[in-house]
């Protein structure tokens, strides 16, 4: 089903928007990626702590843009 691939793609899209300097797009993509990250943790694809770490780090990078 490619759940791990989907997770990585969503995270990668947020990182690309951050690197491009587009804060609005990064925020929108971040909001869209949260359910995917949480779902991956619930299904055992990644550990719950790793999911929290991804969300925390992405959010910190987006907040540091302003």
In CATH, what class is 3-63? mainly alpha
CA dist 15 → 44, 45, 48 (Å): 23, 20, 20
Q: Compute the CA torsion angle 64, 46, 37, 27 (nearest 10 deg).
A: 10
Domain ranges of the chain: 3-63
Residue found under tokens 């490619």 = 2
The pLDDT tens digits of the residues spanning 18-28 come to 999 999 999 99
Rounded mean pLDDT, 33-38 = 98
pLDDT at 48 exceeding the cut of 90: yes
Burial class (CB in 10 A: 0-12, 13-18, 19+), 22: middle
């Amino acid at each position: 089903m490619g759940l791990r691939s989907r997770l990585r793609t969503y995270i990668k899209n947020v990182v690309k928007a951050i690197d491009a300097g587009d804060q609005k797009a990064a925020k929108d993509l971040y909001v869209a990626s949260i359910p995917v990250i949480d779902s991956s943790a619930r299904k055992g694809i990644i550990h719950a702590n790793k999911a929290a770490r991804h969300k925390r780090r992405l959010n910190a990078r987006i907040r540091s843009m302003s």
